[in-house]
Amino acid sequence: MTTEIPKQYDPAAAEAKWFPFWEQRGDFNADPDPTKPPHVIMIPLPNVTGALHMGHALNGTLQDLLTRWRRMQGYEALWMPGTDHAGIGTQAMVEKRMFEEEGLTRHDVGREALIERIWKWKDVYETRILSQLKRLGASCDWRRVRFTLDEVCSRAVRQTFFKMFQDGLIFRGKRLVNWDCFLQTAVADDEVSEEETDGHFWTFNYPVVEETSDESRVTSAREDKGTPSETSPALSTQYSVLSTGERISFSTTRPETMLGDTAVCVHPTDERYMHLIGKHVRIPVNGRVIPIVADALLADKTLGTGCVKVTPAHDPNDYACWTRNKEKMGEPINLLNPDGTLNENAGPWQGQDRLVARDAVVAEMERLGHFEKVEDRKIPLKHSDRSKTPVEPYLSEQWFVKMDTLAQNAIDAANDGRVTFYPERYRQSYLSWLGEKRDWCISRQLWWGHRIPIWSKRLTDEEEGATEDESHSLCARGGLDESGARVQMVCIAPNDRDYETQFEQLGFTQEPDVLDTWFSSALWPHATLGWPDTEHNPPLTSSSPSTLNPQPSTKNEVLPYFYPGSVLVTSRDIITLWVARMVLTGLYNMGDVPFKHVCIHPKIQDGFGQTMSKSKGNGVDPIELIEKYGCDGMRFTIASFAGETQDVRLPVGYECPHCQAVIPQEPHHLKFKPGKPKIKCSKCKKESQYATPNYTPDEGEPIARVVIERFEYGRNFCNKLWNAARFAMLNLESRDESGESRAREEVLAASPALDSRLSTLDSSLALDSRPLALDSLPIEDRWILSRLATVTDEVTSLLDVYKFDAATRSLRDFVWNEFCDWYLEMIKPRLRDEALKPAAQRVLVAVLDTTLRLLHPFTPFITEELWQRLKEIAPSRGLPRPTQAADAIIIAPWPSGLEAWRDSTLEARFQRLQDLIVAVRNVRGTYNISPALTVTISVRCSSESAADLEQVKSQFESLAKATLTAAGPNIARPTKASVSFSLGDSDGYLPLEGLVDLQAELARQKKEADKVRGFIAGTEKKLGTSSFVDRAPPEVVAEVRQTLANQQKQLASIEEIVKLLSAD
RNA sequence: GGACGAUUAGCUCAGUUGGUUAGAGCGCCACGUUGACAUCGUGGAGGUCGUUGGUUCGAGUCCAAUAUCGUCCACCA
């Protein structure tokens, strides 16, 4: 029975049907299989902080495309899914919500309770993210979902830290960090961004003082850790203001930092100040005396007053200056408490918020007469990406990983080609970042994350020194704590957790800090495969309660089989944060790179060229688009954008709920608006609500939803494919009641008109030789097969180098412009002819079969739907001999080895036929000939072309609504009123008496002749240039000569016509 | 300030190693729905390839300068 095939593809139904189908069959699963090569992609793990956006949709589409493609090619294709705990972001989100809803801070609930709350949050979002990925059709091995805080990953983190600690790569140090006062943690340089902020630019002065006692060394650094603020006021009594009353002026945007100044700095060659170098000034607000130092790197003669105050504890440049001038300056003075209030070093301002104290200090300076001026200024201020609050430079104790060797190894891997970037240019950003070899600050003052596996205890005065001890599970070292006291530090490896309790009983306490999120995601490629456990395969689900040994394996087979991976697919902004660090840790832990290729894809922007992001309010939910355009439509469109050069710009619109007109998004739509923002439709003039960054529209109300019209490209393509397949299937089936089997018999029936060996389809056909079978086919069959072979090659080699856009174009052009527009049209007459039908069906189904397989990685759902339907009608198909089709397209073999089908000469011949038909259509269009009217045409051409024409003669009707009356070299020129065209090597004549205005035709032909004359003039000029003829390669010259000959021939034909028409 | 990318039709983008008359999709114009598809078909209009120099027989393509936009890095008293 004929299964009803609807006229429109229904994406939602197909998506709901085939994803569970694949999953239940286990098609997504990847396990070590020595008979197959592995192909491995590790997902760039999404953060559990929120929902997926368009960038993820692009990223996921490409990875799934590659995974499905390689799976069809016979690889054991693993796409590893998982999520990232995203330390700062997630904790900030939960803390913020907790504060908003319950008024509680993390200190109110405590470490364990907060972590518990975050786990719950994580469960919700992880589920949401994973289900979103599935909606994209992601063929991940869903049994292997990992989470950076699960047991498998945690163990890898502990082991890596332990190993690095043992190797002396991890150290503790004071460092000026970006301090997030809201989250009370250090934030990496990579996690802060600058924003222009309104601020002030104050100018003050400090009085220059001179010594009045013998004490010459004033603020020399003391050996012990005394607080500098205690010492300075005491010494200040030994100085008095210069008799000249000289003052030194400077400007600042942060006056409160005056309290922590340890020097003022001038340029060593600045004539205004050279005489003051080595003298001192007194800070009026606290009376401290500080030196005037010279530093060419910090001070710039041309800027401001040329003099800078130096606050090493609160400014990176000042800190750098301090490291250069330590012996002159004294220790940096930290003014801040972790929450952004001033500490005891601020004297009377202790306890005040830094911003409050700022004004107070300004007032005090003014009162004391040291204020000069203030101006308003836009100040670039660093903000924490996570909390969106301004960060403060803050001197604190942090843990670091030494980068020199590690970074060098990662540099070498990219230089010697073990890691290749696509496009190649991104290697540079990777290399230049690693080249700095800046030590990696890995500690974060958070609770959500991997707690640093160091236990320490202060050494008493009696204890001589720390024990240095290294074993497979313990590594002990001496060190200093934050206050500078001597401590015994012990790092404990993951496999000896008993030690943890033992040491705690001995009075050791674990570090409160957790590790930078990137520390765990850097291990992702090998941690997910079970490293460092070499004895067991990694457990199959992260939620599985059984810990690390759920399977009876005695060897981890997964890790060596799937490591190193094949390709990492990501966007350029985390090349440094993540890609470089994965290479680095992969080399360190595994001795090999984590992936061979890095595919960097474009970023998604809105219609104004701005990166899409939730905070900008221009983000778009991919699920909404999937619902509107279908998953395959979205995937196909998005893949068509993914090229090497440009970012993807997606102009967004709002669809009027009243009339479905699309209202283009304008920048003002993205601004924060009070109340319930409404948008007015330019067509029906009605208003409706729409979503803005600060407003979610009321459900039930008419809402103007976000649409991206560019996605119609993919949706339309899917529908076209659907209908082409529908046509094919309708024509594969028999019309009588015996149904399917009858259809097959027809296909299998011999067709005497064609090669019997091809058409006699039974098992004995094994004797068939392809070239013979091909030769016997009509020209359109051989053409489409040749084109298909070419396209198969193109797509395969384009995917090899990650040129998704070009592959998509190639496929679309083939399906739409060649298969649908030409081939299907051309075989329609044969499908109506019972004698010719079987062979046509054979080729048709083979082409459809191969095309679907080529498309599957791009559009998985529609191709599976069609594959399954086709299976019912034609379970065996293919050329030259039918074979049983695969049970599901997801595991069908990727087309290859079609070289025998290629025939470039034939493609060129066919092109001539196409040109001829287009020319006829052109004439029809020009004279507006009724589509109902069949015209006749005679063609003067070579006998070879005439033979080709003869073959497609019967299809002229449907292709051009024209009857070919005669073709050949000796075709008579028309003597009566007629329209003609010249293609150079052939001319067509269409008698159209009474239908056309002969004067108009004459004018048209004259115009055409002029045009060709223009071309000829250009070509002749070129050939007349001796330098061209002498210097250009001979084949180019010959080519141009041939062109000229053709043009002249064409002109002769046209002139002949013109003469004829003029004479009439 | 440094690096990288972009600038081609009204819009969004292709354009392989320099080589006849620069392409596509959308939009626009004209015509067209009895059997695959109006999410469609046929035909058409529309571009001095950001600007200025240079190399070359020949430049959208290579080189230099410049403008504008974007991204990353560094810096900003």
More confident residue, A848 or A954: A848
Q: What would the pLDDT profile of A607-643 be if each residue is shown by its tens digit? A: 888 777 776 777 788 999 999 999 999 999 999 989 8
Nucleotide nearest to A307 (CA to C1'): B77
Find which of A144-158, A742-756, A981-995 is predicted with most confidence, using mean pLDDT. A144-158
- What mean pLDDT value characterizes chain A? 84
Would the pLDDT of A2 be above 70? no
Contact (Cβ atoms closer than 8 angstroms) between residue A551 and residue A537 = yes
The pLDDT value recorded for residue A855 is 98
**Which range is least confidently modeled, A236-240, A484-488, A723-727?**
A236-240
Q: Is A865 left (phi over 0), alpha (psi -120 to 50) or beta?
A: alpha
Name A716's Cβ contacts closer than 8 Å, sequence gap at least 6: A633
Residue A931 CB in 7 A reach of strand B: yes
A1019 CA vs B20 C1’ separation (Å): 8
Residue A448 CB in 7 A reach of strand B: no
**How many Cβ atoms from other residues are within 10 Å of residue A958's Cβ?**
14
Would the pLDDT of A489 be above 60? yes
Would the pLDDT of A998 be above 70? yes
Would the pLDDT of A916 be above 80? yes
A168 CA vs B16 C1’ separation (Å): 50
Nucleotide nearest to A1029 (CA to C1'): B57
Residue A826 CB in 7 A reach of strand B: no
The pLDDT value recorded for residue A453 is 93
Triad A914, A920, A926: Cα angle to 5°: 130
Token pair of A118 as six digits: 């975050």
Residue A905 CB in 7 A reach of strand B: no
Nucleotide nearest to A1040 (CA to C1'): B20
The pLDDT value recorded for residue A633 is 96
- Residue with token string 């010494």: A235
A362 CA vs B75 C1’ separation (Å): 27
Residue A806 CB in 7 A reach of strand B: yes
Q: What would the pLDDT profile of A892-906 be if each residue is shown by its tens digit? A: 999 999 998 999 889
A432 CA vs B3 C1’ separation (Å): 9
Residue nearest to nucleotide B19 (CA to C1'): A1036
A646 CA vs B8 C1’ separation (Å): 14
Residue A197 CB in 7 A reach of strand B: no
More confident residue, A844 or A319: A844
Residue A720 binned pLDDT confidence (cut-offs 50, 70, 90): very high
A926 CA vs B71 C1’ separation (Å): 49
Residue nearest to nucleotide B13 (CA to C1'): A641
Token pair of A790 as six digits: 């070419």
Would the pLDDT of A699 be above 90? no
The pLDDT value recorded for residue A773 is 66
Contact (Cβ atoms closer than 8 angstroms) between residue A220 and residue A293 = no
β-pairing verdict for A565-571 and A595-601: parallel
Would the pLDDT of A755 be above 50? no
Q: What would the pLDDT profile of A27-71 be if each residue is shown by its tens digit? A: 999 999 999 999 999 999 888 887 888 989 999 999 999 999 999
A901 CA vs B44 C1’ separation (Å): 36
Residue A977 binned pLDDT confidence (cut-offs 50, 70, 90): low
Distances (CA, A) of A369 to A254, A283, A362, A381, A832: 18, 12, 11, 29, 103
Would the pLDDT of A759 be above 70? no
Residue A648 CB in 7 A reach of strand B: yes
Residue A1015 CB in 7 A reach of strand B: yes
Nucleotide nearest to A267 (CA to C1'): B77
Q: How far apart (Å, rounded) are the C-alpha atoms in residues A45 and A85?
A: 9
Nucleotide nearest to A297 (CA to C1'): B75
Residue nearest to nucleotide B70 (CA to C1'): A609
Nearest CA to A48 among A520, A569, A695?
A520
Residues (426-445, chain A) with CB within 7 Å of strand B atoms = 428-429, 432-433
**How many Cβ atoms from other residues are within 10 Å of residue A371's Cβ?**
18
Phi/psi of residue A450, each to 5°?
-85, 115
The pLDDT value recorded for residue A383 is 81
DSSP code at position A692: B
> Which positions in strand B are less than 7 Å from the protein's CB atoms?
3-7, 11-15, 19-21, 24-26, 30-33, 36-44, 56-58, 69-77
Nucleotide nearest to A10 (CA to C1'): B39
The pLDDT value recorded for residue A148 is 93
Residue A123 CB in 7 A reach of strand B: no
Residues (235-274, chain A) with CB within 7 Å of strand B atoms = 250-253
The pLDDT value recorded for residue A193 is 74
Residue A420 CB in 7 A reach of strand B: no
More confident residue, A687 or A552: A687
Q: How far apart (Å, rounded) are the C-alpha atoms in residues A705 and A686?
A: 14
The pLDDT value recorded for residue A223 is 36
Residues (25-84, chain A) with CB within 7 Å of strand B atoms = none
Count how many Cα atoms sit within 13 Å of the Cα of residue A101 in the half-sphere of its side chain: 6
More confident residue, A171 or A212: A171
DSSP code at position A744: H
β-pairing verdict for A514-515 and A509-510: unpaired
Name A406's Cβ contacts closer than 8 Å, sequence gap at least 6: A169, A584, A585, A587, A588
Average pLDDT over residues A172-185: 82
The pLDDT value recorded for residue A86 is 85
Nucleotide nearest to A607 (CA to C1'): B12
Would the pLDDT of A1064 be above 70? no
Residue A552 binned pLDDT confidence (cut-offs 50, 70, 90): low
A289 CA vs B77 C1’ separation (Å): 20
A915 CA vs B49 C1’ separation (Å): 27
Residue nearest to nucleotide B12 (CA to C1'): A649
Nucleotide nearest to A821 (CA to C1'): B41
A646 CA vs B51 C1’ separation (Å): 22
Phi/psi of residue A482, each to 5°?
-60, -35
Nearest CA to A629 among A721, A717, A722, A726?
A717
Nucleotide nearest to A1044 (CA to C1'): B20
**Which range is least confidently modeled, A189-203, A217-231, A620-634, A1035-1049?**
A217-231
Residue nearest to nucleotide B5 (CA to C1'): A645
Please tell me the pTM assigned to this model: 0.87
More confident residue, A189 or A366: A366
A424 CA vs B19 C1’ separation (Å): 28
A511 CA vs B22 C1’ separation (Å): 65
Count how many Cα atoms sit within 13 Å of the Cα of residue A176 in the half-sphere of its side chain: 19
Residue nearest to nucleotide B7 (CA to C1'): A646
Residue A695 CB in 7 A reach of strand B: no
DSSP code at position A928: T
The pLDDT value recorded for residue A1014 is 82
Token pair of A923 as six digits: 């004439």
Residue A1037 binned pLDDT confidence (cut-offs 50, 70, 90): confident
Within chain A, what is the greatest distance between any pair of CA atoms?
A: 125
A33's enclosing H/E stretch is none
The pLDDT value recorded for residue A975 is 65
The pLDDT value recorded for residue A104 is 86
The pLDDT value recorded for residue A4 is 80
Nucleotide nearest to A930 (CA to C1'): B31
Residue A921 CB in 7 A reach of strand B: yes
Contact (Cβ atoms closer than 8 angstroms) between residue A442 and residue A147 = no
Triad A295, A439, A263: Cα angle to 5°: 25
Nearest CA to A277 among A295, A262, A261?
A295
Distances (CA, A) of A557 to A444, A551, A869: 35, 12, 39
Would the pLDDT of A226 be above 60? no
Residue A297 CB in 7 A reach of strand B: no
The pLDDT value recorded for residue A230 is 40
The pLDDT value recorded for residue A195 is 72
A256 CA vs B72 C1’ separation (Å): 33
Residue A723 CB in 7 A reach of strand B: yes
**How many Cβ atoms from other residues are within 10 Å of residue A1015's Cβ?**
16
> Of all residues in chain A, what percent carry a pLDDT higher than 90?
33
Phi/psi of residue A604, each to 5°?
-90, 130
A664 CA vs B38 C1’ separation (Å): 24
Would the pLDDT of A845 be above 50? yes
Our measurement of the distance from residue A465's CA atom to the centroid of its chain's CA atoms, rounded to an integer in Å, reads: 52
**How many Cβ atoms from other residues are within 10 Å of residue A576's Cβ?**
17
Name A548's Cβ contacts closer than 8 Å, sequence gap at least 6: A151, A152, A155, A533, A536, A539
Would the pLDDT of A649 be above 90? no
Query: Mind spelling out the 3-state secondary structure of A763-790?
Result: HHHHHCCHHHHHHCCCHHHHHHHHHHHH
Would the pLDDT of A235 be above 50? no
Token pair of A253 as six digits: 């945007």
A414 CA vs B11 C1’ separation (Å): 40
